[in-house]
Amino acid sequence: MSTSSFDLRELVELIEAVRDGRIIAEQLARLEEILGGHQDARRYYRRAMRLHGYLEQNAVAVATPIPPAAQGLVAADTPPVRPAASPARTARRRFIAVLVTLAAGLLIAVGLWSWWPGVQYAAPTLEGDFSIHSASGEVVGQRIPQRGDTIIAGDSDAELSIGAYCSVTLKPGTELVLKGNPRSEVLELKEGTVESRIVPEKGRFRIDTPLGHVSVRGTEFITTVEYKTANNEGVQGINGLKKSAIVTVAVVSGMVAFEMGGMTGILGPGSSQAFADDNEKTESRAEAALPSPWQNQDIGAVGKTGSADHSNGTFTVKGGGEDIWSAKAPRKPYADQFHFAYQRLSGDGQISARVVSMKGGDRFWAKAGVMIRETLDPGSKNVAMLLTPADPNARSNGMQFQHRAETGGKSSTTDGGKYSPPGWVMVVRSGDTFTGYKSLDGKSWTTVGSHTVTMATDVYIGLAVTAHDNELLATGEFDNLATGPRGSPKR
C-alpha cells in the first residue's frame, strides 16, 4: 500500500461532499483512489468521519450510491459509530446521574457526621450514691451506665457526667432514664430533681418529663418532677397510685426552651415556671375565682365566649375575637374583640405582669398582655403592651406597644422587638402620657415607647387576650401581676 503524499485539500472537499450528501460518481471514484493508495489519507478519513458523527451505513442516503469497493475501504478503517441518543433518553440519563451523585453525597455526609468526633458526647460516668437498673429492670450495680439504664439516686446526691460537655446532679430519690445517642443526649426524668450544667454548642441535650420536655439553649438549669395525690383521676404515678404530675423548670443562666402541656416558650436567666397536667389544672380551677376587686368580661362581638380564673398567683385568661385593633367588619367605627380581666384605676398608676405562656388562637397574631382602657366599650381609647406567640415553625411578631387615641378610631403600634412568652410587660399612666416597658426578668425595664392619649380620670386596667380569629380561643397565663400608683421602673 502506497504511503506517498496526496492533496489534503482535495481529500477534505471529497469528505465534505460525502458528509453533505452531494457527492457524484466521479468524486466517489477519486475518493476510492485516494483511500486505496494512501494510508495517511485513510487515517485522516477515519478521524474526520468520527468527528462529524457520520455513519458509514448512512451513505445509502447520498445521491449516487458508493461502489462496493469504496464501501469496503470505508468499512475496513471506520468502526461503526453508535447512533445519537434521543433527547428523552439523554434527559433520563442525566436525571439518573444527578440522583446517583446526590445519593453518594448524602452517604458521604452521613459517614462524616457519624465519624467526626468533635461534637460527640463521651460515655456517661456516675459518682456518688446511686443504683443502676438495666432496661429489663435488673439491678446491675455500679457499672458504667448505658443508654436505656434507669439511675436512682440514694440518700445523697449522685453526679452524672457525659464527657466534658454535660454534668447533671441527681438529688436524693431522683429517678431518671438514660436515652438518646452520642450526639443528642436525652434524660427522661421520672421523679425528683436534677441540676444540669451544659456546654450547648458541643452537642444537643434534652430532658423529658411526664408533661413535655425542656431543651438546652443555655448553660445551667434545674428541673423538678413531683407528684401530688389527686382528688380526681390523675396520671398513673409510681407504685401504681393515681397521682398528678407537677414539673418545675428554673433557669440559673442561659436560655432554656420548653414544650409542656401544649405550651411552648423560652425561659431566661433567673426565671422559673411550674407546669401541671390537665387533672391538676382541673382541680385548681374548680376552686378558682378572681380575687377581689378583679372582674372579667368579653369586649366586643366575640365568636367564642372567654373566661378568666386565678390559682396560686397565676391568672389564666381565655379570649376569642378577631383582634385588639379593629374588627374585620364593619371597619368603622373601629372596635376590639377580646377577653378582659380588669379592675378600676383612678388617676395615675401602672400595671405589670409576666406573660408566662400562650396557646391557641392565630399562631402569628394572637395577643396577650396588659392594658389600660377608658371604658369597656369595643371602640374605647386604650393603651396596651402585648405579646404574640412563639411558634417554632413560623415567624414571630414579637411584642407590640399599641394604642387607640380616639374613640372608634384606628389603632397604632410600636414594635417592641422579637419578644415571645415568657416575657414581662408594663404600662404606666402619668396624666395623659402612657409609657410601655418590657423586661426579661421583671427587675431591669426597657422603654418601648410613649403616647399621649386623653382619657378620663377613672379608667380600667387589666389583662387582655385575643385569639385574632373569631372561631378560636387563645389562652394566656400571667403571673407576678402588680397594679398600683405610678412607680419608677428601672431602665
The predicted structure's pLDDT at residue 262 = 63
Count the helices and strands in the chain (H runs, E runs): 6, 28
Cβ atoms within 10 Å, residue 62? 17
- Contacts with 226 (C-beta within 8 Å, 6 or more apart), sequence order: 191, 245, 246, 248
The predicted structure's pLDDT at residue 315 = 95
User: Would you give the DSSP letter of residue 156?
Assistant: E
Q: Kindly report the CA angle at 320 between 314 and 324, in degrees rounded to 5?
A: 90
**Tens digit of each residue's pLDDT (9 = 90 or more) over 380-431:** 999 999 999 876 555 668 889 999 999 999 999 999 887 778 899 999 999 9
SS3 label, residue 359? strand
| Cell numbers at 52, concatenated | 462529524
- Contacts with 170 (C-beta within 8 Å, 6 or more apart), sequence order: 128, 130, 151, 153, 157, 158, 159, 160, 176, 192, 193, 194
| Cell numbers at 333, concatenated | 367605627
pTM above 0.85, yes or no: no
The predicted structure's pLDDT at residue 84 = 53
Q: Are strands 184-198 and 204-209 parallel, antiparallel or unpaired?
A: parallel
Q: Are 388 and 466 in contact (CB under 8 A)?
A: no
Distance between CA atoms of 454 and 391, rounded to whole angstroms? 36
The predicted structure's pLDDT at residue 323 = 92
Q: At what angle are helices 8-20 and 39-51 packed, to 10 degrees? A: 40
Distance between CA atoms of 148 and 163, rounded to whole angstroms? 18
User: Would you give the DSSP letter of residue 130?
Assistant: E
| Cell numbers at 16, concatenated | 465534505
**Tens digit of each residue's pLDDT (9 = 90 or more) over 135-149:** 766 776 666 777 778
Distance between CA atoms of 361 and 358, rounded to whole angstroms? 9
**Tens digit of each residue's pLDDT (9 = 90 or more) over 140-199:** 666 677 777 888 888 888 888 876 677 888 888 898 888 866 666 788 888 888 888 877
Residue type, 189: L
- Contacts with 244 (C-beta within 8 Å, 6 or more apart), sequence order: 227, 228, 229, 230, 234, 235, 237, 276, 277, 279, 280, 283
Mean residue pLDDT across the chain: 77
Cβ atoms within 10 Å, residue 227? 21
| Cell numbers at 379, concatenated | 371602640
Distance between CA atoms of 182 and 204, rounded to whole angstroms? 9
Looking at the domain that runs over 124-284, which CATH code has it been given? Answer: 2.60.120.1440
The predicted structure's pLDDT at residue 85 = 55
**Dihedral, CA atoms, 256, 259, 261, 264, nearest 10 degrees?**
90
Residue 341, beta-bridge partner list: 296, 463
Q: Are 74 and 59 in contact (CB under 8 A)?
A: yes
- Whether domain 288-484 has CATH 2.60.120.200: the reply is yes
Q: pLDDT digit of tens for each residue in the chain (491 aa)?
A: 444 566 788 888 888 887 777 778 788 888 888 888 787 887 787 777 766 555 444 443 333 344 444 444 444 444 444 555 566 777 788 888 888 888 887 777 666 555 444 445 566 778 888 888 877 667 766 667 777 788 888 888 888 887 667 788 888 889 888 886 666 678 888 888 888 887 755 556 788 888 888 877 557 888 888 776 544 444 444 344 446 777 888 777 777 777 776 666 676 666 667 777 654 443 333 334 688 889 999 999 898 999 999 988 899 999 999 999 876 545 567 899 999 999 999 999 999 999 999 999 988 899 999 999 999 999 999 999 999 987 655 566 888 999 999 999 999 999 988 777 889 999 999 999 999 999 988 889 999 999 999 999 999 999 999 999 989 999 999 999 998 876 544 33
The predicted structure's pLDDT at residue 183 = 61
